[in-house]
Structure 1
Amino acid sequence: MTDGAWAVALGSYPHTARLIAGEVASPALPLAFERVAPISKAFAPMVREARFDASEMAIATFLMARAWDKPLVLLPAVVARRFQEGSMLCRADGPVRRPEDLAGRRIGVRAYSQTTGMWLRGVLAEAHGVRSQDCRWVTFEDAHVPEYRDPPWAERAAKGADMLAMLKAGELDAAIFGNDVPADPALRTVWPDVPAAGRAFQARHGFEPVNHLVVVRREHAERSPARVAELLRLLREAGVPALTRADLAPALGLAARWCADQGLLPGPMAPEQAWAGLPEGIG
């Protein structure tokens, strides 16, 4: 929808609830919210078809989309961020006792391109000496960007395989569960002290890892910059942190570097490339 209401795919969080409920609204930009759950299911349609006028999107997906010149423009609107270490589990009675033990092991992840996996692989390499190619990554889905192909150190699980069942059966040594971490006494986190691991990341880099931001179709940034600015204003009025491009430069720079290191991008990407197409004066 170009001239009327914008179709928007956005997850439900405390800082988006008022916007989705219509309590924060603007006659200059009517919004029609699409129900997509989990919100990650909106990413591939947005990348491949530009199905929505604006959408939440994982940072790794966006950087890959930018590398393959998808017609999307990033807004400085972070709707989800967290320290990642609590998302990776292993068996409580298994051979993995600490992150360093993952070298040579089989690790399950929904997709090799998953943003949580990207951050965790970066931490493993930086803080624990375990590079991406030192492990065997067992995946269950393709990347949202269709041109991308997984690296040689990744393999696809059998059709219909269940990651949790594989972990509990010993077919995987660890697995990354993203938001949906199972509460199972037979499992524990790979990092023995998850809060300490988060504090260590913060001390090294000065920020909490970014998971999801907001993107708009490129045609809107080119033809309707005032509406793009109004969307950002509405997000901020609803409670999304009022961050700037400069605020996000450290996170985007590190994410781009780690994506390239892990084989998610065809080459290096400078942080400023992430903002290509965003009109001046916005963010």
Structure 2
Amino acid sequence: MKIDNGVLHLNTAIKKYPHTAKLMSGEITAPDVRLDCLDIEPIHRAFAPMARSQAYDVSEMAIATYLQAKAYGKPLVILPTVLAARLQQGCIVYNAHRRPMTVGDLAGAKVGVRAYTQTTGMWVRAILEGTYGVPTTKIEWITFEGGHLQEYQDPSFVTRAPAGKEMLQMLLDGEIDAAIFGNDLPSIEGIVPLIPDPVAADKIWYDKHGFVPVNHVAVMHRAVAEAHPDSVKSVYKLFRQGKAAAINPADPGALLKRLPDGIDALRGPLEMILACCEEQQLLPRKLGVDEIFADCLEFLGDEAH
């Protein structure tokens, strides 16, 4: 953070999406704030430094990571804007070349996931339990790295893969039965979705719940927000302007429906996420939506809605 000619420059870690591209290029700006965007790829590498030590002024962050950070008292302020969301049922895959497999085979199976705290993993586990009746605790989860919060310890049914092992290779070799991938979903012959016709399954899930599962939101370092409270409104406005600039005229509501803004739109999704995180033993204490949104209201006031 620095001030140059009356403009507050904020070190910012966000991924380049259609709705953030013009923020990153400087085409969309605010009179009082500049987002000095850092090149961090993959973006999840920014989450631990931001959650642990507030390494940036503004950052994209997985919603599960933010909720853990909030529970552990980290000085972060959530902005009620979704930066990344996706339907999740195609994210759990298996190796069809080794043997047939169905969701019913998951009890007692070994399933890989990058980290137990990964938000995509949280959503897939929630869907497996809520839609298909497969409890999280009946699966042996194999992870390849720890969570973004050092204070967090994985539950007893989670096992770390041996050092040097890679999830995809373990799946190919039959050392794990299935695996959950996010943006790195492999395109390899024989690696196929465990849930048949995941597109149709996702449509049923969406029709029932009315939202696309939230993966990433935006957060600010609380020290920045307290020192420059007007900057919170400016940054929030920039994210909303970025989305407005990315709207497809042929389907103007699609992007905003997938990436909603405001606490009114996020209340329902967040209530479900909190319940899932609690059930999956991801949080050290109980959190409520009002506690989460208190920061938004403190700095954004009515604009938070």
Instruction: Provide the TM-score with structure 2 as the length reference.
Output: 0.89
Return the alpha-carbon distance in structure 2 between the equivalents of residues 110 and 237 of structure 1. 33
* Alpha-carbon distance change, 137 to 96 in structure 1, aligned in 2, over 3 angstroms: farther
Tell me what 1:63 maps to. 67
Distance 1:100 1:207 in 2: 26
What is the deviation of 1:100?
2.4
Shift of 1:218: 1.1
Structure 2 counterpart SS, 1:222: helix
- Residue 187 (structure 2) pairs with residue 180 (structure 1): no
The answer to whether 1:113 aligns with 2:134 is: no
In structure 2, which of residues 290, 297, 305 is the aligned counterpart of residue 272 of structure 1? 290
Residue 7 of structure 1 is matched in structure 2 by 11
- Residue 27 in 1 paired to residue 31 in 2? yes
- 5 Å matches for 1:50-89? 50-89=54-93
Aligned pair partner of 1:256 in 257, 274, 284: 274
Distance 1:275 1:193 in 2: 36
1:247 pairs, out of 256, 262, 265, with 265
Shift of 1:98: 2.4
Report the CA distance between 1:268 and its aligned residue. Answer: 2.6
SS at match of 1:149: coil
Q: 2: CA distance between counterparts of 1:190 and 1:123?
A: 13
1:221 shift after superposition: 2.7
Query: How far, CA to CA, are the matches of 2:222 and 2:27 in structure 1?
Result: 27
Segment of structure 1 superposing worse, 95-104 or 41-50? 95-104
1:94 is displaced (CA, Å) by: 4.1
Query: Residue 30 of structure 1 aligns to a residue in which SS?
Result: strand
RMSD, aligned α-carbons: 1.4
Paired with 1:151 and 1:96, the residues of 2 have a C-alpha distance of 29
Match of 1:134 in 2: 138
Asked whether the equivalents of residues 218 and 277 of structure 1 are also in contact (C-alpha less than 8 Å), the reply is no
| Unmatched 5+ stretches in structure 2 | 245-255
C-alpha distance after superposition, 1:94-120 (max 9, x if no partner): 445322221110000000000000000
SS of the residue 2:302 aligns to: coil
**Distance in 2 of aligned mates of 1:82 and 1:180:** 13
**Equivalent residue of 1:239, what SS?**
helix
Shift of 1:276: 3.1
Residue 249 of structure 2 is matched in structure 1 by none
Q: Structure 1: any 5+ residue segments left out of the alignment?
A: none
How many angstroms apart in 2 are the aligned matches of 1:127 and 1:100?
A: 12
Distance in 2 between the 1:68 and 1:2 partners? 28
Instruction: Work out whether residues 29 and 230 of structure 1, in 8 Å CA contact, stay in contact via their aligned partners in 2.
Output: yes
Percent identity, aligned pairs only, is 41
Residues 234-264 of structure 1, C-alpha deviations (whole Å, 9 max, x = no match): 1111116462101001111111110010010
Deviation for aligned residue 1:88:
1.1
TM-score under structure 1 normalisation?
Answer: 0.96
Residue 156 of structure 1 corresponds to 160
Would the aligned equivalents of 1:257 and 1:269 in 2 still touch at CA under 8 Å? no
Give the conservation status (yes or no) of the 8 Å contact 1:257–1:268.
no
TM-fit CA distance, 1:86: 1.2
Do structure 1's residue 229 and structure 2's residue 250 form an aligned pair?
no
Q: Deviation digits for residues 212-237 of structure 1, max 9, x if unmatched?
A: 01000112332322111001111111
Task: Give the match for residue 168 of structure 1.
Answer: 172
2:43 to 17, 39, 51: 39
CA contact (8 A) 1:60 1:113 kept: yes
CA change 1:65–1:98 in 2 (3 A) is same
Q: What is the identity, as a one-letter code, of the residue corresponding to 2:127?
A: V
* 2:289 matches 1:281: no
Cα deviation for residue 146 of structure 1 reads 0.8
- Deviation string 1:60-82 (CA, Å, 9 cap, x unpaired) is 10111111111001101111100
Q: Which runs of 4+ in 1 moved over 6 A?
A: none
Question: Secondary structure at the residue paired with 1:63?
Answer: helix
Q: Is the 8 A contact 1:106 1:174 kept in 2?
A: yes
